[in-house]
Structure 1
Amino acid sequence: MSHYLIVIIGTTAIGKTKLSIALAKHFKAPILSCDSRQFFKELTIGTAVPTAEELHQAKHYFIQNKSIFEPYNVGQFEREAINLLDKIYKTSNFAIMVGGSGLYVDAVLNGLDYFPKVNSEIRANLNKQLIEKGLKSLQVQLKTLDLESYQNIEIENPHRIIRALEICLATGKTYSSFKFQSKISRNFTPILIGLTAPRTTIYERINQRVDEMMSNGLLEEVKQLYPYKNLNALQTVGYKELFAYFDHQYTLAIAVDEIKKNTRRFAKRQETWFRKNESINWFDYDKTEAIIPFIEQKLTIK
């Protein structure tokens, strides 16, 4: 029998965790998290990691298994995920992967694109620009040089923007032109399931989730991490806005509003990224009962 990787895709706060557990139980399969923010053990509330009860219901991998103090990138994740899948498929025909980070999903499914080496001076100049002129100047520059990357990457993350810009400046080509050049053959068949909802619903769920995070102690979590605020892993939504609050740049109310706004923007970029993949089978977020029969039918066809 073939090996299958059931991939659950969708924007933040749309209900991927609940669905993944239902599928894991039905297919007796482990779950691989493909949310790059949930890798870090120091980040709990702000990344909406599965609860202890949810983790107990199915075997999970790549949940809080790294530290923010350890450099970790998509290349390392790809290698670790593929090695893990090889082990899983020795005893099981199924694995579940839950994806909120499009780049990480693509790395597992298709392999990574390889980019030319960049002169360290270019990166140093971009980091200097970040310090002297701020993130906004880098965002404007990327929008001018590579609109596609600007629309798809996490533009609130300076590391991601600098990476795209340095490729543009070093090669004279867009960062996006180097992506998806070739696909690597994998020893599994992917079945891609996407959850969709009206944008107003997604935004309402995001706003509610942020309020719940604040009630559950996000402010205290961020306060504990404040000494390490410049680490790359912490340049992310839900943390950088509250760092700004502790730096007296925002009131708390404004910081919370900024988290909601930036999370909504992130969800929109997730949507844009995933909509480009014609292999995804889309289902309404509140009609997931049709998904298991759909997968079963795909298996019989194969």
Structure 2
Amino acid sequence: MQPVCIVIVGPTAVGKTALAIRVAQQFGTSIISADSRQCFREMTIGVAKPSPEELAAVPHYFINSHSIHEDVNAAVFEQYALQAVKKITSTHPVVVMTGGTGLYVKAFCEGLDDIPAVLPTVREEIAQQYELDGISWLQQQVAAEDPLYYSTGEIHNPQRLIRALEVKRSTGQSIRHFQQGKKAARDFRIVKIGLELPRPELYRNINQRVENMVQAGQVEEARSLLPWRSLNALQTVGYNELFDYFEGAGTLATAVEAIKTNTRHYAKRQLTWFRKDPAIQWFSPENAVDVLQYAQASTQEGN
């Protein structure tokens, strides 16, 4: 039987964790997280990490696996996840992956383009300037230096803008030159399941999750991480807004409202990303039985 990886995606606060645990328990297997922030040991409340009870219910990979001081990106995740799949499927024919970081899921399923390494001095210079002048500076620089990316890429995502600018300055070519879109071969089948809710319900979930995070100690967690706010791992909704508050911008109430707003925007971007993938079969998280049946049937196909 060819191994199968069931990939469960969707926007934040839609219910991926709970359903992924049910699917993993159905197959007696493990879960690989595809979340770019839950891997960091120092970040817990603000990244909606699975609870200790959920982590105990099913073995998890890429949770608490790295430090915020490590350089973790899609390429690192791809290699980590492929090794995890190899380990898990040596004893179980099915593995579950879940998360909302679209680029990580894409890297795992299809591989990444071979983009040359950037010069460390260039990366440091851009990071320092971004820290001083913000995203508007990034947008201006990318528009001037890599108009091809600026006209086709995500110009409101600082990490993507930084990446485009550092590649351009290091190689002299647009990052689009290296993005060939070739899909890597995998020695396991991939079944993709998407979870969605009506927008008002999803937004209510997001707002309630933010309130729960604050009650659980998110403000204190963010304050403890303030000395390292410039690290890439902490360029994250739920932390940036509180860092600004700590440094005198607005009130705690306005910071919390900003977290809710920015999280809703992030969820919308996640849905836009995943909607582009025709291989995803969509379900409501409330129809768990349908998801479980679909997952069971899908693992039998082609075997």
Per the TM superposition, whether the score is higher than 0.5 is: yes
Distance 1:216 1:49 in 2: 12
Deviations 1:30-84 (A, max 9, x none): 0000101100011000000000111111111111111112222221221121112
Equivalent residue, structure 2, for 1:279? 279
Distance 1:125 1:101 in 2: 27
Residues 224, 125 of structure 1: CA spacing in aligned structure 2 closer, same or farther, 3 A cutoff?
A: closer
Residues 172, 257 of structure 1: CA spacing in aligned structure 2 closer, same or farther, 3 A cutoff?
A: farther
Residues 140, 290 of structure 1: CA spacing in aligned structure 2 closer, same or farther, 3 A cutoff?
A: farther
Equivalent residue, structure 2, for 1:114? 114
Instruction: Return the letter of the residue paired with 1:217.
Output: G
Residues 180, 103 of structure 1: CA spacing in aligned structure 2 closer, same or farther, 3 A cutoff?
A: farther
Equivalent residue, structure 2, for 1:290? 290
Structure 1 unaligned blocks of 5 or more? none
Residues 274, 140 of structure 1: CA spacing in aligned structure 2 closer, same or farther, 3 A cutoff?
A: farther
RMSD of aligned alpha carbons: 2.2
Residues 166, 94 of structure 1: CA spacing in aligned structure 2 closer, same or farther, 3 A cutoff?
A: same
Equivalent residue, structure 2, for 1:63? 63
Deviations 1:131-188 (A, max 9, x none): 443223324655764244216xx72xx4442112333566787645644621111111
Equivalent residue, structure 2, for 1:149? 153
Structure 2 unaligned blocks of 5 or more? none
- 1:255 equivalent to 2:259? Answer no
Whether the aligned pair in 2 keeps the contact of 1:123 and 1:166 (CA below 8 Å) is yes
- 1:195 equivalent to 2:199? Answer no
Distance 1:188 1:36 in 2: 23
Give how far 1:243 is off: 0.6
Instruction: Return the letter of the residue paired with 1:245.
Output: Y
Moved more, 23-32 or 109-118: 109-118
Whether the aligned pair in 2 keeps the contact of 1:34 and 1:97 (CA below 8 Å) is yes
Residues 257, 87 of structure 1: CA spacing in aligned structure 2 closer, same or farther, 3 A cutoff?
A: same
Moved more, 46-55 or 107-116: 107-116
Instruction: Return the letter of the residue paired with 1:14.
Output: V
Distance 1:255 1:83 in 2: 39
Instruction: Return the letter of the residue paired with 1:88.
Output: I
Identity %: 43
Distance 1:229 1:119 in 2: 23
The alignment covers a number of residue pairs equal to 298
Residues 251, 176 of structure 1: CA spacing in aligned structure 2 closer, same or farther, 3 A cutoff?
A: farther
Deviations 1:234-282 (A, max 9, x none): 1111011101011001211111111111111111111111111111011
Scaled by the length of structure 2, the TM-score of the pair is 0.90
Whether the aligned pair in 2 keeps the contact of 1:3 and 1:94 (CA below 8 Å) is yes
Instruction: Return the letter of the residue paired with 1:51.
Output: S
Give how far 1:232 is off: 1.3
- 1:29 equivalent to 2:26? Answer no
3-state DSSP class of the match of 1:8? Answer: strand
Residues 258, 61 of structure 1: CA spacing in aligned structure 2 closer, same or farther, 3 A cutoff?
A: same
Distance 1:235 1:117 in 2: 22
